[in-house]
Every structure is written in C-alpha cells, then in structure tokens.
Chains A and B, each alone.
Chain A
Amino acid sequence: MDNNPILEVKEARKSYPVTKGFISRKNIGTVKAVDNVSFNLYKGETLGVIGESGCGKSTLAKLIMGLTTLSGGEIRLKGEPVRPDMPLTMRRNIQMIFQDPYSSLDPRMNVRRIVEEPLRIHENLSKEEKNKIVLPIMEQVGLSAGALDKFPHEFSGGQRQRIGIARALVLNPEVIVCDEPVSALDVSIQAQVLNLFASLKKIRGLTYIFISHDMSVIKHVSDRIMVMYLGQVMEISSKRSLFGNARHPYTQALMSAIPEPNPAAMKNRIILKGDLPSPIHAPAGCPFQSRCPQAMDKCRIKPELKQVGEGHYVACHLVNEGVVS
C-alpha cells in the first residue's frame, strides 16, 4: 500500500425514513442502512465485504457507485467526491456487476447493444471503433463474437453473468463493484466465473469491491475483508490476519457457521441465538449485543473501531479488555 488510495470512504452514512400510512406518510423512524463506514481501497486490491441480509452491503455498493445520496460523510474516487450528479468522465472509472444475471440484462436488446451501451453513453464512436473495443473484451470474458447477435434468453446463467462482466469492462474502468456476482450460480459455474474474475484482475490490473454472503467465496477472492453487521463495520483486516486471528465474536460465529465439505472436520460450532434484529429497532450500542455469546454491560455503549494489528481493526469492547487474545 505505497501510493494514495483510489477510493476513500469516510464515515459514510445512509439512512432511510420509515413511514406509516398510505396517504399521510408519517415518519415513524429511520433505518440506518449504512452507519459510519470508513475504509480505503488501494489500486489492484480486492476488498471483500461480507455480511448477512440487511447488513447494508448493497446500500454501500449503491453509495460507492453514486447511485444514491449520502446522508453523511464522504466518498472520494481519485480525490473527487462521488455523488449522483458526478460528471460522466468520473463515473466511467467505476462500474458495477449485479447479482441476478436474469434481471440485469434487458431482454429486448441483443448482446451487442447491451455491451456497447456504455460506449454509446460515454463516447461517440463509429461501428468499427466500437468493434475494436468490444471484440477483445468478449474474448477475455470467454464468449464468442457470434454471441453478439443473440439475445439474453439464449444464454445460461453463467454466460449471462459473462455478458454483464463484458458490459462493465468496455469503458476500461479502474474499480469494479461486484454485488453478489456468483450467488445465483451453480457451484461448477461459480468456479468458472470466479476464475474469470481472477484472470481479468491479472490482465487489466482491476480493483474490486466484492460483496458476498459466502465466506468461502470471499476468502478465495479477497486481499482484505470487511465484516459488516446492521450497517456497521465489525472488523476489517487483511485476509491472512482475519483467518488466522478473527477477533470479533460475530466474525468468529460467521466463520464457524459455514458447513465444510468434509465430514471428518468436526468443528466446535458457535451457534448464535435468535435472529438478526430489525434495523429499525437496532439496539443502542453494539449492534451485535442481542446475539453475542460474550455480551456484557459495557456493550450498551457503542464500541469504536480499534487497531489490533497491522491493518486489522475491530469494533468490540472485548479487545480493550484484553479478554480476546
């Protein structure tokens, strides 16, 4: 991490109003979807974001893409603030790949129109010039040139995801935000797409933000990992440090909950009690206190992110107490 970060997220917040009634629309509260999230993203790295449903990982993706306004804090891409009204010259540096390869492609456009659409918006190119950009990209994502004249319904889920990846690549962006890009795919296809992400990273020097709920996928792709719970960062660290020494009780529980494809590995499972609390009634203080096996009185006060090792930060009071070693 020698140079300046390519993306800086500082105390980003996003809250949505909760309304009641159809006509009067009374405000009865707010959901803090993303609450005080800060991190830096450096060129060429992959930051994995993991969390369960409702933890704010997709809202974070929207904020980074400038698809929705921040309620507080700031996000800077190469020093410039990210906003919904940011100029096109800036927007082309950050592109997104979506979860559902079925609903993220327009069924009435052929693949050529889908993949060339960003070029039509951002540049004014002739047919030949567009072909010069699109054809090598189709090859890189493993699709034949003949695919350009077909429609999305003629492709399987894995191939559609490749089309989505090609569309994200045509503007030659520096950062790609991947929101659960493999969770709709079967394992054998998932492996193909994960390998494609790795090879594109090598060829094009891409920087990824990779959002997933699957810890084994996150571990495979990431250099650094951020664990989120109810809109807040619980732990952020390099992959090695997190898997060698997970400090937050939530991270530990999340890791132990993953069923391993090995019947011989009988591990000591931490089974969390209860459900994720509703983000509307998020507990004051540490958001995890209602399910934490090691909760104590102090957890009613919100813990700050504390550094516990090189590049390893944890938001938990146990760390200060020295209880977690």
Chain B
Amino acid sequence: MIAMETILDVQDLQTYYRTGKQVVPAVDGVSFRLAKGEVLGIVGESGSGKSTVVRSIIRLLDKNTTRIENGRVLFRGKDLLKLSGRELRGIRGKSISMVFQNPLSSLNPVYTIGNQIQEAILTHESMSRAKARDRALHLLEQVEIPSPELRLDDYPHQLSGGMQQRVLIAMALACQPEIILADEPTTALDVTIQSQILELLSRIRDERNMSIILITHNMGVIAEMCDRMLVMYGGVVMEEGKCTDVFASPLHPYTLGLLASIPSLEEEKEELYAIPGQVPHFNAPVSSCRFCSRCDQVFTRCREEEPPFIQIGDGRFVRCWLYAQENETNNG
C-alpha cells in the first residue's frame, strides 16, 4: 500500500470512568492512525471500550463520571483534547460527525426531519433557511430516501428504522465531513436493511473519499466494509492489521476465539468453539494480560505482566506474550 495521508492520529488515549470509589479503565492506552479515504473497523464485545474510544475523539462524554486521563487526538495538526468547547463545536458535526446506533432515540421526536437536518447545516454555515432546505432535500436524495420532498416534513416516528438511519447519515453528511464515526450503525436493523445501509456507506465513502471509523460487534460487517481493523478487549487493542491479514491468519487467542465462536454459513460444525468464562471487570492499574483468565494458551508470564503491543509485520500488531517469546528465543 502507498503511504496515505494520515487524517486522524490517536496516541495513547486513556479514558477512565469513576463510579463511587472505583476507577474503571474503559480505554487504557489506545493508539491508531486513520488514513484519508480509509474505513477502519473497531470490533469487540460489550464493555471492550470501543464506543468510549470514538466518543473520546470528539469528547462526547459525561464530564461528571468520565475523564480523559492521558493521550492526544491529532486532527489536522490540532489536538482535539486540548481545544476549547467553542473550537471543538466548530469541528464536531462539521469536519468529524457521528452516526449513532439507535436511530429513533438519536432523532428529536418533536421536530420534522427537515428541520433537524437544517439545524445541522445552519449551526456551521450561514445561509438562508430556504437554501438550507434545498441542501437538506439534496442530502435526502443522496441517501436514497424515496420522494424526499414529502419526507422532509415528516416526523421521525413516521419513518421506518432503515429510513431513520438514512436520515442520520444525511445529517452526518450535511457539512461535508472528512471523518464519519459510525457507532454500530446497523445493529438495530434487519439484515436486508443492514445490507442497504452498508452499501450506502461504502458508496458515499467512494464518492467523497471520506474516512470512516466503524464500530461493530459483528465480524461479518468488518470483513465486508473495512480496510483495516482493531480488535479491542478490556479497554486495549489486542490486535491490529489489514482485514485481509487478520481474517486470513488471526494471531491473538482472543481474535481466534471470536472467529471460531461464530456459527458459519459455509461449513457444518458439530460444536462451536466457546471462549470460556465472561468478560471480567477491570480496576486500574491492570498488571496482567487482560485476556489471561479466559485464554486457552495462558502461561505464567501472562498473569504477571501486561504484554506490550508487538509489531509482527507491516502494520500488523498483537498484544500477546506468545509472540514476544518467539522473538526472544529467536534472538537468544
């Protein structure tokens, strides 16, 4: 691959939740880069910290319970974590916008969808209402909503889930963003509607050369949509690489387990592989591999030290002592 222009650079991001006396390391040292025009997938089970990562990027977090402890998020040379509220609002919804999981609860039930799209436009650009309405109409056309002039005056509850998600995508596109953060955009939808929305997102990406960070728990969606992927568990990235590489030869025992536990359409399996146990709760600081209690290849070192993020190949990383050992024995 040619070295592409990096548009977003997340460095050692740490976001902690405080609940009572406990400190929960929801995101504990996550770094990645997003290139222009790239679709980056973040996959993980509930509680892995994937949503907190993207919410930290545009600081959509509850200030009372959440603190970004450390890290930098560089967007066009600026650290988003250091911007004032006013400066951040100039970027949020304009250069970086977000599509949420549950379309009905993300739309305001008492305003028409036309009104809500116009609001997104008028917040960032000064133009007449009539012009903004034209732009909203054009956006609805782009996201393939049938008879958009009629839908503009509909309220959210008058639309189906798939149509609501299209409206949210239209709002996210309103100011021609460079990055879209999509947090489980198809999880609430039926499969036939999901494939429509995924096709729409990849078409928009191709037309506008936008970058997308796509969060999902569905490995199939990642395989279909993404160029590169991060596998998250317990607040850290366990594995990173190009999708083709990760699916062809998963390295981390967690990634292997995740892939093996999906029932396959192609082959018959008598019994599915099941990762034993359940996602544990972590308290900061963590001093072992976060997966060690469920890993089937665990050894002493895993319980004593957290493994580093080890580079295996070109853009390929894994956080597992199995691979560190290999290097050491080779060297010695």
Contacts and interface: CB of A to CB of B under 8 A. Distances in A.
Interface of A: 52-53, 156, 158-159, 186-192, 194-195, 198, 213, 215-217, 219-220, 243, 253-265, 269, 271-272, 274-276
A195 B244 CA distance: 29
A65 B86 CA distance: 58
A267 to B, nearest CB: 10
Contacts of B218: 259
A188 B275 contact: yes
B326 interface: no
Given A253-B192, A275-B160, A188 B265 contact: no
B258 A187 contact: yes
B247 A263 contact: yes
Which residue, A188, A216, A243, A258, has most C-beta atoms of chain B within 10 A? A188
B180 to A, nearest CB: 19
Interface stretch (B64-72, B220-228, B301-309): B220-228
B193 A263 contact: no
B194 A257 contact: yes
B30 interface: no
Contact of B220 (A191, A261, A269, A276): A261
A220 B272 contact: yes
B262 A216 contact: yes
Interface in B240-278: 243-244, 247-248, 257-259, 261-266, 269-276, 278
A215 B265 contact: yes
Nearest to B186: A259
Contacts of B274: 188, 191-192, 195
B156 interface: no
Given A158-B278, A187-B258, A259-B223, A219 B198 contact: no
Contact of A258 (B162, B220, B244): B220
B153 to A, nearest CB: 19
Given A187-B219, A257-B195, A262-B247, 11 more contacts: A187-B45, A188-B258, A191-B272, A213-B190, A215-B191, A220-B263, A220-B269, A259-B195, A259-B223, A260-B220, A274-B146
Contacts of A255: 265
Contacts of B269: 220
Given A52-B191, A220-B263, A198 B223 contact: no
Which residue, A191, A198, A265, A274, has most C-beta atoms of chain B within 10 A? A191
B43 to A, nearest CB: 10
Given A257-B195, A261-B262, A275-B163, A188 B244 contact: no
B327 interface: no
B221 A259 contact: yes
Contacts of B264: 216, 220
Contacts of B192: 52, 253-254, 257, 271-272
A259 B261 contact: no
A276 B160 contact: yes
A53 B190 CA distance: 7
B22 interface: no
Contact of A259 (B224, B258, B270, B275): B224
9 contacts: A187-B219, A257-B192, A259-B223, A260-B224, A261-B220, A262-B223, A263-B244, A275-B160, A275-B163
Nearest to B188: A53
Given A261-B223, A271-B196, A275-B160, A191 B243 contact: no
Interface in B126-172: 146, 160, 162-163
A315 B142 CA distance: 36
Contacts of B276: 192
Which residue, B217, B243, B278, has most C-beta atoms of chain A within 10 A? B278
A272 B199 CA distance: 11
B46 interface: yes
A190 B261 contact: yes
Contacts of B223: 259-263
